[in-house]
Amino acid sequence: MQFIVNYIDSKGGQASLKIEATTKEEARWNSKIPERRIVSVSEDFAGKLAFLLEPPRPDVKNQAVFMQTLSSSLSSGRTVHQGVESLLTSNGWIKYKNESLTECEGLSDYLKLFRFERFAILMARAAEKTGALSAALREVSRYLLTQERIRAEVSGELRLGIIYIILGLAFFTIIPTFIGPTLLEMSTGNHPSIKPNYFTLALITAGELIRGYGYFVLIGVAVSISQYKFLWQYIRKAPFFNLFYKKQLLDRGTQFLSVYRMLRASGFVDSEIIYELLNSTTGETREVYGRIYAHLATSKDIQDAFEPDDWDPVVIDSMSIINEVDDEEQQHIMSALEDTMQLQNLHAARSISKALSRIGFILMLSSVVAAVVGFYLPLAGGASNGLH
């Protein structure tokens, strides 16, 4: 999120600065303004609203093709500005403001303006430090195309599972809410018209609970959404949620290995690499890199800086030996690990889609069974008895 830091400038007047951070304290630190000159720090709600109203990110495949073409353009000797300007005329899907375009100084500025993926911006910033822009663009293009293949392979089953879950929850909510009172009236009184079974009683009870206490569920959902970061720390290792947690670690590890390999090949030391990652990420990932950077600041080796709760075991094992091999072997290890983690990422995505599909199917089936056995069968039985 973005914060507005109001401070006293060198002329004694009040000025403001927008800073991207996760907390107010982090915004104060990132602003690099002396504490005595800071007047206030507040969240940029107007900026958040403007961000929500902006168009969505460009299609991942379009981004990959754009960066692959730009990589070829840079390899032919063109500058970043020349390469981007030549591509803008043939890529009408890129939305931007002309006045903002003139403010871009480097590749990462252009990608940020075009609302490209965060990983693309991160790699561009790292490449600006090394000068290997063309190679970085090819790496990003390959990574995005791999992610798109994973998404395309599991998207059908994933969408079906989500639809099943939505319909199942809707049935479990709507049927008891509206049918419950009718069932209660038909099964009680001096002349009951139906004979309730266990499913009928369950529908009646569920309807009463939803009508009487449903707002507590809505409040709980709202609180969970607002406090999801705190809640996630406790549920991320629970069954089902651990699938998303595994996917999160794999995504983080794959991106880290890509940046680490490129910067390490250019002569950057571990503390410099982590510092670049720290300044190029946000949210929980930024906090993770902050802990590693603090670990390195105490003159400790990077081998012990990776916590099991923050990283996939593959990354932890590889970083424990990375400084024990030569540079050529390091590059070989990093490249092999990236391929391994991308394969694991595919399996993780498949596991998530299958789990959602199964849960959704069970919800749908259960709601249909409850409606048929708890409502239609007693109703048909009551009608049959009435005819006799």
What CA–CA distance (Å, rounded) separates 164 from 158? 10
| Total-model pTM | 0.75
Cβ proximity of 358 and 161 under 8 Å: yes
- CA-closest candidate to residue 312, choices 348, 275, 277, 281: 348
CATH 1.20.81 in the chain, residue ranges: 60-147
Radius of gyration over every alpha carbon of the chain, rounded to an integer in angstroms: 28
What CA–CA distance (Å, rounded) separates 225 from 322? 39
Provide CB contacts within 8 A for 137, sequence distance 6+.
Answer: 67, 68, 70, 71, 74, 107, 124, 127
**How is 115-151 classified by DSSP, letter by letter?**
T--HHHHHHHHHHHHHS-HHHHHHHHHHHHHHHHHHH
Span 60-147: which CATH code? 1.20.81
388 residues of the chain, pLDDT tens digit each: 677 888 887 777 788 877 767 677 777 777 778 877 888 888 776 666 655 556 677 888 889 999 999 999 999 989 998 998 888 888 878 887 776 788 888 898 899 888 888 888 888 888 888 888 898 888 888 888 888 887 887 777 788 888 888 888 888 888 788 877 877 777 776 656 677 788 888 888 888 888 888 888 889 888 888 888 889 889 999 999 999 999 999 989 988 888 888 788 777 888 888 888 887 787 788 889 888 988 888 877 888 889 999 999 988 988 888 878 887 888 888 888 888 888 898 899 889 888 888 888 888 888 888 888 887 888 777 666 654 4
What CA–CA distance (Å, rounded) separates 227 from 43? 17
DSSP 59: P
Cβ proximity of 163 and 354 under 8 Å: no
